[in-house]
Every structure is written in C-alpha cells, then in structure tokens.
Amino acid sequence: MYLPLQRPLVALVFASLAAIPILAFSQESPVADSIRRADAAFHAGYAAMQAGDLETARRDFALTAQLAPQLPEAHAALGAILEQLGRHEEAVAELERTVELDKALGRFDESAPANLALAQQALGLKLAAAGQFESAAAQIRSALANAEDPALEAQLQDQLGSLLAKQMQWPEAEAAFRAAIRLAPDALAAAGTHLHLGVVLAERNQYDEAATELGKAVDSAPGNAMAQFQLGRIFALAGRDEDAVPHLQEAIKANPAPTGAALQLAMAEQRLGRQDEAIPLFRQAVELEPKNPTALANLGLALTQTGKAKEAVPIYERALAEAPNDPVVHEDLGVAYLQQSDFDGAIVQFELAQSLGPTDPHIHYDLGLAYKLKDRMDDAARELNKAASLDPTLPDPPYTLGILDMQSGRLEDAVTQLRAALALRPENGDGWAILGSVLKQLDRQDEAVTALRRAVELLPNQPGPHLTLAGVLAEQGKHDEAATERKVAADLSRTAVNRQRATFSTNAGNQLLQRGEIVGAVGRYEEAVAADPTFAEAHRQLALAYARQGRAKDATAEQAKADALYSARQ
C-alpha cells in the first residue's frame, strides 16, 4: 500500500528578548540575580542561534529555562532549538510547558500551540519512521488538538489516516482521510489524500468508490504517476482491464514509474488476449525485478500462448527457482512441455503440481490429458474423473472423458459424458459433431440428426458435420437431403483446400518480398488470389508488391479489394 507520510517544514518563532518581563526586584535579591543571569543566557543563546551554533544555543536556552522556569518564552526558545536539533520528544515537553505557563499567566500566544502542534507532528513522523505506528498516531492526534490552521489540520488528518492504514484500521483511516479532504484548502492540496482514501477503499473491496477517489486524484494531478498507477490497479481488480490500460500506461510514462506498473499493465493486456503487447511489458517487468516469480511466470505463460513454448521453458525454470512450491507454475511449465509434444516432461510437472495443489481440478485435468496422450488410459480416466468431481461446472473433463470412452468403444458412456459436457458448454460445435457421430454408430438416428444439425449451425464452414449428417439422412432414406448435405460438404472442402493453397502462396510471396525479389513475389500473390479470391491478406500483399513495382493503379485496386474483404469480416 502506498501511503507516504510527508514531513512539513517547521517554522518555530523565537521569542524576542523584549518579550521577557523583567520583574521589579531589589537589585540585591537572589531573584533579581537569577533574572539578570537568565537575561544574559538568553542573549547568548539568541546570538549562538543566529550564528548557526545550535548546540551552544541549546545550552544557553536550557540555562535560561533553569534560571527563569516560570517564563514561557524561555521554554519556547529551548523547545524551538531542540526541534531544530531533531530532539523532538524533548522539544514537545518544553513546548507543552510553554502552553501551560501561558494559560497560568492568563495570556494567549497563538504561536505557542501552533509550534507545539508542529513539534508533535515531527515527533509523530519520527516514531512512524521507526515503525511505532500506535505511538506516532497518538502524537498526531495531540497535534490535531493544538492545531488551528485548517491547512495544517488537513495535513495532520492525512498523516493520521496513513498511520491508521498501516495498522489496517480501515474505517478509522477512511474517516481521517475524509476529514483531511474537507479541510484541504484546494483540490490540488487534496489530491494526495484522494489517492490515500482510494487505496483504503480498495483494501475494503469498495472498488467503485475507490475508483471515484482515485479519479479525483488523477484529475487534480494528472502527472502523478502513483495516482495513475493506483487507479489502473483498481480498475484491474474490478475486472475493468480496458479502463485500466490507459492509466497504467500513463504511470509507466513517468520517470520513475511506480514499482509493479509494468507488471500490472502486462497482466491487463494478457487478460484482454493481447499477448503480443503483453510480452515486451513482461520483459520490462522482469528486467526491473529479475527474481519476481509472478513476472517470470506470466512472461512464460504469454510466450506459451503465442506458440513460443521452447522459449518459455527457461523462464518458467527461473520462476520455480524463486517459488519452487507454486503448483500453478509447475502446471504452466507442463503445458509448455505439452505444446512441444514432450509428454513425459509434462507429466513430471503435472504430477509435481498435483502433489502441491491436490484440490485444483485444472491440474488433475491437465495430468489426465497428458496421460491420455501417452496412452495411459486408466490413469487418464482417473485424473479426468477427479477433475470433474472437484469442479462439476468444468466442461473439459467430461468432454475429454467422452472422447476417451469413444476411442475405447464404450459408446453409451461416451454419449453420457458428451451430453454432460455440452450441457455446460452448448456452443461447442465440435462436441455436437462428435456426439452426432457416436449416436450414428449406436443407430440412434433421430438423436444423431439433431446433434449434427446443431453442429452444422455452430460450424457452418466445416465439411465434416455436413458429411456425417448426409450419411445419417441416407440411412433414414432421405436421399435428397443427404445429397444436399454432401454437395455442401464438397464445396466447403474445395474452399478449405483453396484457402490452404492461397495461404501457402502468400507466405512464399512474403519471403520473396523480404528478399527484394519483387517479380517472384507478385507471381506468388497472384497465385494466392486466383486460388482464393476472398483471402484479404493475399490482396493486401499483392497491393504492396504492385506498389513496389510502380504499378500504382493496380496497387490501389488490390488494396480496395483487401479493405472490402476486411470490412466484410467485421
């Protein structure tokens, strides 16, 4: 939590010599002698103070207070010097004595309680720096009782709130911060307190109110990196990553950026699915904190999610060196091994993860999947069933169990598992297609047609469901409908093949273009457009190649086709 305590500049007013009343005593009386000596000591102390010799001034003023203990000015001068010397506790005692003597004499010197408040504030901050937060808060409360300037009161309330927050006394801290905001002389002066209040509200999970307060801090001081960072962090905690990103970006622009800003921004981008934007930010976070296991693990995850599992493995190993007992990092490393078809390595990591997090259903699922890929079917079934029992809302365990049962010839069991999975994730087109195929094998034709039509609805551009549906319809004697489905499947197959050709030709053209072989690149792009006229990427690259050849009109025409195709997809 960021709740800094700011030490004010202390300006204590020294009483002048003329302010010391010299009482009319007999020149020969002991009292008169003490007054004369006190007068001399005060003069000497004042001269030493002006010369910058604070220790000599302290001794002289201490003698003054000793010789004239009933004079408030003597204690005020001594308290001021003690404060400048950083001897805050002694200063407070002298200044408290000053106030007491003023009251006893029936006088009111407004500077006395003000100076006492400042000394108590300084003592409170010293105690806070030593970690003595309860004693520090007591001093700040005493300072509040003596302060009469609203600006100082606002500052003291902010500091009190910070001390209470450090003790996790959230409601009391909130009250102090709100009092500080009411007393603040202007919006800029209140900006820091809005920041502090926002952090406290976030600690109480009041994210909307926290965002409001932090928004005020940002509005008053948009260049305040900490305010931007905290507002972005609160938006992220509230699940508002799109709102979080610009504020975290502003925080990072500051020099220096708050610790953790790059990591928070990277994780927000990652949750938004923008892995390419997240990876350099994770690298920046790792560079700033090379041993931060969260930064390392999330960098590894982002690399794995972008198909760079081989690069992710050593990153995960660094994370595990810092957090060897984190089951999630072992699990993520296992996923990286899976992506490289290293099933044995994946199993080792998943088993370690399971030993560290035995109640995590995702770990049991991943381990079950790895066992399945190693043809350890009994082990796979055990882990998948365990995952399903730990979290019955997860659709993946019953789906994979259904496929496992289907491959093992347990078709009725497969239907049961697949239906359970589809009840949890009804938009799974592949699941409906597999269910339809299994029902076809069981000769449950009407049910198969229903499942396959749902698959066709969800996967309109895939030929497989159409072809399987055609087979069932033919078995039902619905030959015309079956022929229609076969034709659709054939057309989709040709389209898929054409798209593959177009993609291959476009990639080849890209390689030629990078080497400066413009004529060859144009030929490959033209082959791609001929194979699949709806492939926008091929038209765009052909436009670029035409432009490199100086064929401006042709380039414009191809770019227009590409733009139209891209727009149609949105």
Banded model confidence at residue 6, pLDDT cuts 50, 70, 90: very low
Q: CA 298 to CA 315: how far, in whole Å?
A: 9
Please say if the pLDDT value at position 24 is more than 60.
no
Give pLDDT, residue 186: 87
Q: Distances in Å between the alpha carbon of 70 and those of 61, 105, 537? A: 14, 9, 93
Evaluate the omega torsion of the peptide bond into residue 361 and state whether it is cis, within 30 degrees of 0: no
- Mean pLDDT computed over 15-38: 58
Q: Match 């002066």 to its residue by tokens.
A: 189
- 20 phi/psi in degrees, rounded to 5: -80, 115
Q: Which of 559, 554, 527, 553 is nearest to 541 (CA)?
A: 559
Nearest-10 crossing angle of helices 479-514, 463-475: 160
- Going from the N-terminus, what domains does the chain have, and what CATH number goes with each? 1-185 (1.25.40.10), 501-570 (1.25.40.10)
Give pLDDT, residue 28: 54
What is the tally of helices (H) and strands (E) in the chain?
Answer: 29, 0
**Token pair for residue 156?**
């003291």
Q: CA 140 to CA 419: how far, in whole Å?
A: 66
pLDDT digits (tens, 9 = 90+) for 142-151: 999 999 899 9
With contact defined as beta carbons under 8 Å apart, do 296 and 266 qualify?
Answer: no
Alpha-carbon dihedral 149, 153, 156, 158, rounded to 10 degrees: -140
pLDDT digits (tens, 9 = 90+) for 368-403: 999 999 999 999 999 999 999 999 999 999 999 999
- Lowest-confidence segment of 32-36, 469-473, 495-499 by average pLDDT: 32-36
pLDDT digits (tens, 9 = 90+) for 51-105: 999 999 999 999 999 999 998 989 999 999 999 999 999 999 999 999 999 898 8
pLDDT digits (tens, 9 = 90+) for 510-544: 999 888 889 999 999 999 999 999 999 999 999 99
pTM of the shown model? 0.70
Question: What percent of the chain has a predicted confidence (pLDDT) above 90?
Answer: 82
Please say if the pLDDT value at position 25 is more than 80.
no
Q: CA 325 to CA 246: how far, in whole Å?
A: 35
Give pLDDT, residue 125: 95
pLDDT digits (tens, 9 = 90+) for 157-175: 999 999 999 999 999 999 9
Q: Distances in Å between the alpha carbon of 422 and those of 68, 216, 287, 431? A: 92, 47, 44, 7
**Token pair for residue 75?**
């204690």
